[in-house]
Amino acid sequence: MTELTKTLELKLVDPNTHKRQKLRETQDAYQQALQAAFAAGCDTQSAANDVVVEYDLSGYAKNALKKYVPQLCGNSYDADELHDNHPVRFTNEGLQLDHQPQNAIEWYVKIPHHEDYHLWIPARANPEQREWLEALDADDAEMGESRLFERDGTWYLHITVTRDVEDQSEASADERTPPDESGEPCLAGLDRTPIGVDIGEASLVTVCHRDGSGSPVRPRLWADDGKAVRRLRKTYFTAKRRLQQRGSERIAESYGDSLWDQIDDVFHRVTREVVEYAESVENPVLVLEDLTYIRENMDYGEYMNRRLHGWGFAKLHAQIRYKATEKGIPVETVNPRNTSKAFHACGEHGSRPRQATFRCSNDDCWLGEYQADVNGAINIADRYRSGESHRRSDRSSRQKAGDDDSATDGASLTGPQDSHADAGTQQETRGTYAS
How many Å apart are CA 283 and CA 133, to the nearest integer? Answer: 29
State whether 213 and 160 are in the same domain.
no
The CA-CA-CA angle for residues 170, 173, 174, to 5°, reads: 120
State whether 245 and 335 are in the same domain.
yes
State whether 211 and 122 are in the same domain.
no
State whether 87 and 214 are in the same domain.
no
* pLDDT on residue 254: 65
User: pLDDT > 70: what percent of the chain?
Assistant: 72
Output the DSSP codes for 91-140. -TTS-EEEE-TTSSS-EEEEEEEETTEEEEEEEEE-GGGHHHHHHHHTTS
Choose the most confident range, by mean pLDDT, from 47-51, 226-230, 248-252, 367-371: 47-51
> Does the pLDDT at position 365 exceed 90?
no
State whether 140 and 279 are in the same domain.
no
> Would residue 183 count as lying in a domain?
no
| Number of domains making up the chain | 2
State whether 325 and 229 are in the same domain.
yes
122, 148, 165 — which closes off a domain? 165
- Give the pLDDT confidence of 286-297 residue by residue, as tens digits: 999 886 544 444
pLDDT band at 132 (very low <50, low <70, confident <90, very high): confident
State whether 235 and 97 are in the same domain.
no
> Would residue 204 count as lying in a domain?
yes
> Would residue 172 count as lying in a domain?
no
Cβ(1)–Cβ(166) under 8 Å? yes
Q: What is the CATH number of the domain that holds 239?
A: 3.30.420
> Would residue 152 count as lying in a domain?
yes
> Does the pLDDT at position 408 exceed 50?
no
Structural domain range at position 241:
193-390
State whether 120 and 252 are in the same domain.
no
State whether 274 and 218 are in the same domain.
yes
Residues 6 or more apart from 112 whose CB is under 8 A from it? Answer: 26, 58, 59, 60, 61, 90, 94, 95, 118
> Does the pLDDT at position 309 exceed 70?
no
pLDDT band at 24 (very low <50, low <70, confident <90, very high): very high
* pLDDT on residue 364: 81
State whether 224 and 360 are in the same domain.
yes
State whether 385 and 255 are in the same domain.
yes
Average pLDDT over residues 52-79: 83
Average pLDDT over residues 70-95: 76
pLDDT band at 426 (very low <50, low <70, confident <90, very high): very low
> Would residue 414 count as lying in a domain?
no
Burial classification of residue 106, based on how many CB atoms lie within 10 Å of its CB (0-12 exposed, 13-18 middle, 19 or more buried): buried
> Does the pLDDT at position 282 exceed 80?
yes
> Does the pLDDT at position 145 exceed 60?
yes
118, 147, 165 — which closes off a domain? 165
State whether 119 and 237 are in the same domain.
no
pLDDT band at 359 (very low <50, low <70, confident <90, very high): confident
121, 149, 165 — which closes off a domain? 165
Tell me the β-bridge partners of 143.
161
Burial classification of residue 31, based on how many CB atoms lie within 10 Å of its CB (0-12 exposed, 13-18 middle, 19 or more buried): middle
> Would residue 180 count as lying in a domain?
no
SS3 state of residue 223: helix
pLDDT band at 21 (very low <50, low <70, confident <90, very high): very high
> Would residue 365 count as lying in a domain?
yes
The CA-CA-CA angle for residues 246, 247, 248, to 5°, reads: 95
> Would residue 104 count as lying in a domain?
yes
Mean pLDDT of the chain: 77
**Closest Cα partner for 129 from 47, 8, 237, 44?**
8
